[in-house]
Copies of this chain bind each other. A is one copy, B any other.
Amino acid sequence: MGSTRRATEVDPDAAARAVRVEQRSRQLLDAAARLMEREGSQAVSMQAVADEAGVSVGLIYRYFGGKDELLLAVIVDVLDTFASRIPAALEAAEADPVHRLAAAFRAYCEVIDEHRHAAVLTYRESKSLGVEGREKIKDLEIKTSEPLRTLLRQGIDAGTVVDVDVDLVAYNMLLLAHGWALKHWHFERSLGLDQYVREQTALILRGLVEPRRSRDYRSLLDPVAPEF
């Protein structure tokens, strides 16, 4: 079966197959993520994912090695969404690093709000993730938070941001964004996402912005901290 072309050419069969594999993976990943958000990660059994995707259990195993691999893929998928959404948000924002920082944080929080349960999965036992998965996630987080670090450095260079530990601040912003998912049941009645983002932004910026430049960013914090 299949074609027997020269190796220098791209095998069109292989290409078509790759496309189908891609589509199926997408379908399964989306189903798993949807299920997870809708029913909580407790309800994610292979059968449930299959049902949600409208395929058979067996098929999942043709695309993912097993449950752990599937779950890891879902996490990676979410982190990929981060990696693509943040830059998009930055383009829409003003050129100023601090404004962009705020936009990036908001984008983080919004993606997390959409993938609350999947985001929390990142904190799963490293055992079930495996060394490989752990490394992959670490890399992705670093890569995804790269824009933050870049912006922080730009701000510091521009003199609008005080001289902080760029790595740690980036990490903290991530954690605070995740905080929305982690402590969601803590806040769900008292705080909306928008309010959460605004207040956290105010707090973060207060620690970052050079005191003598702070009045430049008042608009960013309205209406939460107009007195800033």
Contacts and interface: CB of A to CB of B under 8 A. Distances in A.
Interface of A: 39-43, 120, 123, 125-128, 134, 138, 141, 162-165, 168-169, 171-172, 175-176, 178-179, 182-183, 185-186, 199-200, 202-204, 206-208, 211, 227
A125 B164 CA distance: 35
A114 to B, nearest CB: 18
A175 B171 contact: no
Nearest to A211: B211
> Ordered nearest first, which 8 A-B pairs have the shortest CB separation?
A207-B207, A40-B125, A40-B127, A211-B211, A175-B179, A206-B207, A42-B125, A126-B185
Given A165-B199, A168-B199, A172-B203, 14 more contacts: A40-B127, A41-B125, A42-B125, A42-B127, A163-B227, A168-B200, A169-B203, A171-B179, A172-B179, A172-B200, A175-B176, A175-B179, A204-B207, A207-B208
Contacts of A183: 171, 175
B126 A123 contact: no
Given A40-B126, A162-B206, A203-B207, A175 B182 contact: yes
A210 to B, nearest CB: 10
Contacts of A126: 40, 185
A208 B172 CA distance: 16
A211 B162 CA distance: 12
Contacts of A42: 125, 127-128
Contacts of A171: 179, 183, 186
A179 B168 CA distance: 11
Contacts of A199: 165, 168
A40 B125 CA distance: 6
Contacts of A43: 127
